[in-house]
A and B are shown apart, each in its own frame.
Chain A
Amino acid sequence: MKKIIDALPLVVFASLIIVLFSFLSDKDDQLETALIDSSFPDFNLGSLSDESRLLTKRDIIKLPALINVWATWCIACRVEHPFLMKLKEESRLTIYGLNYKDNKFKALELLERDGNPFEFSIYDFEGRLAIDLGVYGAPETFFIDKNGLIRERHVGVIDERVWEEKFSKYLNE
């Protein structure tokens, strides 16, 4: 009995070390997505190209689709831009843009210059839809399945590898 009590600190501490070691291996610093498997939130915002045109959830009709949160102030968005163009050119699926807290003219200029991968871009200057989506930075990409449910979300640059790992499986459902 006494031996067991004497060994107790050793056992407790050794298990703590093992637990900590297991935490070391892979650390994914993306926040969880609270909206997984729920339907896309309602919104009522102007279009980037024509602010008088009001967009709502019902305008997102071509499903499945990606919703890409982007802005001209976001450098990483420019990195992923060619990949979005490629997705569009290969017609893998429709991409809708969510222009986030951006200067409208700069944004339009960028699309003019580098090409526009988006069916349309929702202009969210105040970040309202972004909050409803749980967005905390740009770029972010959401996958909406054919039933209009959010299935996957990626924070950061999307490229071929991320597409294969996280998104392509939902397309083939």
Chain B
Amino acid sequence: MIPEFGHLILIVHLVLSLLGGTLPLLAVYANYRSLEISIKKLSVTLFLLITISFLSLIYSFLVDDFSVAYVAQNSNINLPVYYKLAATWGAHEGSLVLWILAMNAWLIGFIFFTHSKDKDFLATVFSISCQVIFAFSLFTLFTSNPFERILPIPPLNGDDLNPSLQDFAFTVHPPLLYFGYSGLLIPFAIAVAAILFKKDTREWASYSRPWTLLSCSFLTLGIALGSWWAYYELGWGGWWFWDPVENAAFVPWLLSVALFHSLITSQNRGVFGKWSILLSIFAFATSLLGTFLVRSGILTSVHAFALDPERGIFLLAILAFFVIGSLFIYSITDFGHVEENKYELTSKEFGFLLNNLLLVVLAISILFGTIFPLIYEAFTGGKQISVGAPYFEIILFPFALALGLLQGVALYLSWGQSSSFSFLPRLLIESLSIFSLIILILFVLFDNLYLGSFATIFLASWILVGTLQMTKKRNLSYWNFLRKRLAVTFAHAGMAILIIGVGVVSSYSLEKEIILSPGDSTEFSDQTINFQSIDDLLGPNYTSKSAVVSFDDGSELSNIVTEKRTYLPSGQITTEAGIQADLFKDLYVSIGDNLQSNIWSFKIQIKPFIRWIWLGALLIAIGSFLAGVKQFKRR
């Protein structure tokens, strides 16, 4: 009964979201004031409905109701309860319900925290959001219904959740990512309403900014967690693979970063209005496009979502309707007199413009590279190529360099007038000092220097100095100065730390595949690796070969456990890497094949500074979160 109840509630939610998507617009545009409804009440109702529906899906998982097809495909009696919960959003259907839930949550936030006298404008934003929510609900109900039953004879047991998803990071990563994606709905709806109302740029930008920052914060966390998961779960120590599913998250992230920078300028100076509108539309569009690319099956990716061409067409139709629709309205609207605000080539405005240009072209390039194999195949009549990490790294580097150099000077620039560049020598000397300090530390730690890492380390030092501005002359005390711009300091310093991590890990990493039998030891870098023992273990829903490998660098001995698990229902085999995590270097071992009776192969790796990547991402997320929250306080 509970699944039918959830299904019914989802249908009620669909109908109400359609009402929400139409009535306020009729009231505003056709002037049928009698149709006016309380958008606050409706948004709360919608949120409650979708939450109840989602809870009933969770309930079906917790009670092992395998008559529900989605539960039968993604759960199992022996699955630990915690993962049964996570399985709710572990695959396509459930993740859509979560996505709709997230959109509703953002909408409530927007309705309750935006204080505007223009009720019609708010109603329009609400209505546009409801239309998107309606489209997603329709998509869910018609192509991906999570409540579908297997009747009359339900299976006795389920197929199990994909073993590589049975993991902590993977229970948290999707909700964060979906919250990030769906948050971009709000800036989109505001932008479309801003076109319809020909709103003053400063005004609508101030409504949009906090939501863009918050979505960006969630996206950052979601992406970072995904990267962390890939690092320890896929077993080869990579932290970013440029897989389509990663790019599908990275592109909206880049655009959301571009967007909130552009909105800062729009809000403060009244410029870049049309540009901010377009960016809002495209940030939302790419979040949908990424979903389309990953779930329609046109690209091969690490995440095998159940693929179905019908879903692809439906998603593409949603994308086409909203994005082409809004771009059409944009193209026929005469914005009339645009506020002109002159700015110099060395002003803060121009800095933001360059930042946007670089971010947007980078985003376009990554999107293009992701779908290029398809284009190539079409044009060459079936020849195939792969566009992967080596390509994207080559493309990313000059953009990252330019963005980083810009980021270092950005905080010194001032609005409107030509900025003085007298800070440059100071900035250069200080960042060279930090650079040498980092190089020295690296040399002390690893007895080695790699020229390849110098550029990234210099860039990181440059950004750090430009962000902290420790020695700049000012009237405030340093602490007060920092407190005034805590958010940007966090975010920009986070970027510097992330870049150090990337630079060091990509040049100082060591890896080797070795073959050992228990008791054997071998040398690797300054470590003595010893294969201590291997045992059979029995987990809740898997059997496992669990090997203990010790790393000894003369002063510290660490025993690391790596497992090869065979999950019982599916027979799928996963490798659990063993990691000794440390701020300066990770020791990483993953068990390979059983070559002869007791002889095993292992992949051992040393990953210096890899934690800095996620630490940096965390700081960026905190920074953009603080910046978003600060926007509420200001009003």
Interface residues of chain A, those whose CB is within 8 Å of chain B, are 3, 6-7, 9-10, 13-14, 17, 19-24, 27, 29, 31-32
Would B316 and A13 count as touching, CB distance under 8 A? Answer: no
Would A32 and B382 count as touching, CB distance under 8 A? Answer: yes
Residues 299-325 (chain B) with a chain A CB within 8 angstroms: 300, 309, 312-313, 316, 319-320, 323-324
User: Nearest Cβ in chain B — how far from A9, in angstroms?
Assistant: 5
Q: Is B132 an interface residue (CB 8 A)?
A: no
Would A21 and B384 count as touching, CB distance under 8 A? Answer: no
Offer 19 A-B interface pairs, CB within 8 angstroms, sorted by A. Answer: A9-B281, A9-B282, A9-B327, A9-B331, A10-B327, A10-B328, A10-B331, A13-B285, A13-B327, A14-B324, A14-B327, A17-B320, A20-B298, A20-B371, A21-B313, A23-B374, A27-B297, A29-B300, A31-B384
Could you tell me the distance between the alpha carbons of A29 and B316 in the complex, rounded to whole angstroms?
Answer: 21
User: Nearest Cβ in chain A — how far from B294, in angstroms?
Assistant: 13
Q: Is B378 an interface residue (CB 8 A)?
A: yes
Q: Is B383 an interface residue (CB 8 A)?
A: yes
Q: Is B169 an interface residue (CB 8 A)?
A: no
- Name the CB-closest residue of A to B298: A23
Q: Is B330 an interface residue (CB 8 A)?
A: yes
User: Nearest Cβ in chain A — how far from B384, in angstroms?
Assistant: 5
User: Nearest Cβ in chain A — how far from B75, in angstroms?
Assistant: 26
> Which of A6, A19, A20, A32 lies at the interface centre, i.e. has the most chain B CB atoms within 10 A of its CB?
A20
- Name the CB-closest residue of A to B323: A13
Residues 380-420 (chain B) with a chain A CB within 8 angstroms: 382-384
Would B316 and A17 count as touching, CB distance under 8 A? Answer: yes
Q: Is B69 an interface residue (CB 8 A)?
A: no
> Which of A6, A9, A17 lies at the interface centre, i.e. has the most chain B CB atoms within 10 A of its CB?
A9
Q: Return chain B residues, CB-CB under 8 Å to A20.
A: 292, 298, 316, 371
Could you tell me the distance between the alpha carbons of A19 and B309 in the complex, rounded to whole angstroms?
Answer: 15
Q: Is B138 an interface residue (CB 8 A)?
A: no
Q: Return chain A residues, CB-CB under 8 Å to B371.
A: 20, 23
Would A7 and B331 count as touching, CB distance under 8 A? Answer: yes
Q: Is B467 an interface residue (CB 8 A)?
A: no
Q: Return chain B residues, CB-CB under 8 Å to A14.
A: 320, 324, 327
Could you tell me the distance between the alpha carbons of A32 and B313 in the complex, rounded to whole angstroms?
Answer: 26
Would A24 and B378 count as touching, CB distance under 8 A? Answer: no
Q: Using A9-B330, A10-B330, A24-B316 as known contacts, say yes or no to A17 and B324 having CB atoms under 8 A apart.
A: yes
Q: Using A13-B323, A23-B378 as known contacts, say yes or no to A6 and B330 having CB atoms under 8 A apart.
A: yes
Residues 41-87 (chain B) with a chain A CB within 8 angstroms: none
User: Nearest Cβ in chain A — how far from B329, in angstroms?
Assistant: 10
Would B312 and A24 count as touching, CB distance under 8 A? Answer: yes
Q: Is B150 an interface residue (CB 8 A)?
A: no
Would B324 and A24 count as touching, CB distance under 8 A? Answer: no
Contact of B378 among A9, A21, A22, A29 (CB under 8 A): A22
Q: Return chain A residues, CB-CB under 8 Å to B278.
A: 9
Would A24 and B309 count as touching, CB distance under 8 A? Answer: yes
Contact of A19 among B297, B328, B375 (CB under 8 A): B375
Q: Return chain A residues, CB-CB under 8 Å to B309.
A: 24
User: Nearest Cβ in chain A — how far from B288, in angstroms?
Assistant: 11
- Name the CB-closest residue of B to A7: B331
- Name the CB-closest residue of A to B312: A24
Q: Return chain B residues, CB-CB under 8 Å to A22.
A: 378
Would B384 and A32 count as touching, CB distance under 8 A? Answer: yes
Contact of A6 among B324, B331, B378, B383 (CB under 8 A): B331
Q: Is B296 an interface residue (CB 8 A)?
A: yes
> Which of A6, A19, A29 lies at the interface centre, i.e. has the most chain B CB atoms within 10 A of its CB?
A6
Contact of B324 among A13, A21, A31, A32 (CB under 8 A): A13
Q: Return chain B residues, CB-CB under 8 Å to A6.
A: 330-333
Could you tell me the distance between the alpha carbons of A24 and B309 in the complex, rounded to whole angstroms?
Answer: 7
User: Nearest Cβ in chain B — how far from A7, in angstroms?
Assistant: 4
Q: Return chain A residues, CB-CB under 8 Å to B298.
A: 20, 23-24, 27
Given A23-B298, A24-B296, 19 more A-B residue pairs with CB atoms under 8 Å apart are A6-B331, A6-B332, A6-B333, A9-B281, A9-B331, A10-B328, A10-B330, A13-B327, A14-B327, A20-B298, A21-B316, A22-B378, A23-B378, A24-B309, A24-B312, A24-B316, A27-B297, A27-B298, A29-B300
Contact of B313 among A7, A13, A24, A27 (CB under 8 A): A24
> Which of A27, A29, A31, A32 lies at the interface centre, i.e. has the most chain B CB atoms within 10 A of its CB?
A27
Could you tell me the distance between the alpha carbons of A27 and B374 in the complex, rounded to whole angstroms?
Answer: 10
Could you tell me the distance between the alpha carbons of A19 and B285 in the complex, rounded to whole angstroms?
Answer: 15
Q: Return chain A residues, CB-CB under 8 Å to B297.
A: 27
Q: Return chain A residues, CB-CB under 8 Å to B282.
A: 9
Could you tell me the distance between the alpha carbons of A27 and B375 in the complex, rounded to whole angstroms?
Answer: 13
- Name the CB-closest residue of B to A20: B316
User: Nearest Cβ in chain B — how far from A61, in angstroms?
Assistant: 31
User: Nearest Cβ in chain B — how far from A75, in angstroms?
Assistant: 13
Could you tell me the distance between the alpha carbons of A23 and B300 in the complex, rounded to whole angstroms?
Answer: 13
- Name the CB-closest residue of A to B327: A10
Could you tell me the distance between the alpha carbons of A14 and B316 in the complex, rounded to whole angstroms?
Answer: 11
Q: Return chain B residues, CB-CB under 8 Å to A21.
A: 313, 316
Could you tell me the distance between the alpha carbons of A22 and B382 in the complex, rounded to whole angstroms?
Answer: 15
Could you tell me the distance between the alpha carbons of A32 and B378 in the complex, rounded to whole angstroms?
Answer: 13
User: Nearest Cβ in chain A — how far from B252, in angstroms?
Assistant: 15
User: Nearest Cβ in chain A — how far from B380, in angstroms?
Assistant: 9
Could you tell me the distance between the alpha carbons of A19 and B320 in the complex, rounded to whole angstroms?
Answer: 12
Could you tell me the distance between the alpha carbons of A13 and B327 in the complex, rounded to whole angstroms?
Answer: 9
Q: Return chain B residues, CB-CB under 8 Å to A32.
A: 382-384
Could you tell me the distance between the alpha carbons of A13 and B282 in the complex, rounded to whole angstroms?
Answer: 9
Could you tell me the distance between the alpha carbons of A21 and B382 in the complex, rounded to whole angstroms?
Answer: 18
Q: Return chain A residues, CB-CB under 8 Å to B333.
A: 6
User: Nearest Cβ in chain B — how far from A49, in angstroms?
Assistant: 28
- Name the CB-closest residue of B to A17: B320
Could you tell me the distance between the alpha carbons of A10 and B309 in the complex, rounded to whole angstroms?
Answer: 25
Q: Return chain B residues, CB-CB under 8 Å to A24.
A: 296, 298, 309, 312-313, 316
Could you tell me the distance between the alpha carbons of A9 and B297 in the complex, rounded to whole angstroms?
Answer: 26
Could you tell me the distance between the alpha carbons of A32 and B377 in the complex, rounded to whole angstroms?
Answer: 10
- Name the CB-closest residue of B to A19: B375
Could you tell me the distance between the alpha carbons of A3 and B331 in the complex, rounded to whole angstroms?
Answer: 7
Q: Return chain B residues, CB-CB under 8 Å to A23.
A: 298, 371, 374, 378
Q: Return chain A residues, CB-CB under 8 Å to B316.
A: 17, 20-21, 24
* Smallest CB-CB A-B distances: 3 pairs: A10-B327, A7-B331, A6-B331
Q: Return chain A residues, CB-CB under 8 Å to B285.
A: 13
Could you tell me the distance between the alpha carbons of A24 and B281 in the complex, rounded to whole angstroms?
Answer: 24
User: Nearest Cβ in chain B — how far from A165, in angstroms?
Assistant: 15
Would B378 and A10 count as touching, CB distance under 8 A? Answer: no
Could you tell me the distance between the alpha carbons of A128 and B477 in the complex, rounded to whole angstroms?
Answer: 71
